Amino acid sequence: MLDADFFRRWLTNTADAVDRTAALLTELDSPIGDADHGSNLQRGFTAVVVTLEKEVPETPGAVLMLAGRQLISTVGGASGPLYGTLLRRTGKALGDAPEVDEATFAVALRAGVDAVAALGGAAPGDKTMLDALVPGVDALDTSFGAARDAAREGALATTPLLARKGRASYLGERSIGHQDPGATSSALLFEALAEAAGAPRASEAGHG
Ligand code: ADP
Ligand code: MG
């Protein structure tokens, strides 16, 4: 079962992963954006961790809704409301249960991803965070490790795509050949989730 501590770990791990990867996220956001994705998410997830330590919400749903609210209020870029909506909607779907099983979480996260698609009007293939979020949540029915791997592959597969949403879409054909920063950070979310669940690393899979 997944409790509030599990979800706190997920978000703390995400904040750490964002810190480690901020420079790359901003670099990816340079040719097809405005070079702020790393700093946007660093600001947002730092605020999330601070707030979770201060308010100590007691249920999985409350942890995610509080985190989502923080992202929306601290991140100016498009990714703030989108990730904020992802977490808030997922948290809302979990209700006030003190613990949830993996299948329930997978259904809730699907609702969160659907809400991101509704808010941003994007679909898989548009070269956005959905290109990692959708394969990630699809594979969550298998395992946390499978979700991490699928999200990562989805992020890498954005490189040849033409951007149809967000800032990168202003570039038209010139958006081709660059990996999407938001899909890359979405893969980090799934990496942090697998880490919170103690899933074996991809390189360890099959070694007992
Ligand atoms: P901004 O584009 O406002 O500077 P960020 O740089 O923080 O915001 O985030 C950019 C990322 O947000 C993109 O790489 C893309 O993955 C994601 N994104 C932008 N617009 C949308 C949208 N309409 N739907 C889904 N994701 C989007
Ligand atoms: Mg940007």
The answer to whether residue 57 sits within a structural domain is: yes
The answer to whether residue 28 sits within a structural domain is: yes
Tokens at 27, concatenated: 């670099």
The answer to whether residue 22 sits within a structural domain is: yes
- Ligand 1 cavity residues, CB under 6 Å: 29, 33-34, 36-37, 40, 77-79, 82, 120-122, 128-130, 165-167, 180-183
Q: Mean of the pLDDT values across residues 146-157?
A: 98
Q: Are 161 and 127 in contact (CB under 8 A)?
A: yes
Q: Mean of the pLDDT values across residues 136-144?
A: 97
Q: Give yes or no for residue 207 having a pLDDT over 60.
A: no
- Provide the sign of the torsion angle of the four alpha carbons 58, 110, 137, 73, taken in this order: negative
> Which structural domain, as residue segments, surrounds residue 34?
2-198
Question: Residue 186 maps to which CATH number?
Answer: 1.25.40.340
25: Cα within 13 Å, side-chain hemisphere: 22
The answer to whether residue 21 sits within a structural domain is: yes
The answer to whether residue 171 sits within a structural domain is: yes
Rounded Cα distance, 129 and 186, in Å: 6
Q: Encode pLDDT of 7-22 as tens digits.
A: 999 999 999 999 999 9
Neighbours of ion ligand 2 (CB under 5 A): 29, 33-34, 36-37, 77
What 25-29 contacts at long range (C-beta under 8 Å, 24+ apart), as own/partner pairs, is: 25/181, 25/184, 25/185, 26/181, 28/178, 28/179, 28/180, 28/181, 28/184, 29/181
Q: Mean of the pLDDT values across residues 65-92?
A: 97
Q: How far, in Å, is the centroid of ligand 2 from the Cα of 87? A: 20
Tokens at 118, concatenated: 């509704």
The answer to whether residue 208 sits within a structural domain is: no
Q: What is the pLDDT of residue 58?
A: 97
The answer to whether residue 146 sits within a structural domain is: yes
Ligand located closest to 168 CA: 1
Ligand located closest to 113 CA: 1
Rounded Cα distance, 74 and 96, in Å: 25
Rounded Cα distance, 175 and 43, in Å: 26
The predicted model scores a pTM of 0.96
Number of domains in the chain: 1
The answer to whether residue 162 sits within a structural domain is: yes
Tokens at 145, concatenated: 């490790």
- pLDDT interval class at 208 (50, 70, 90): very low
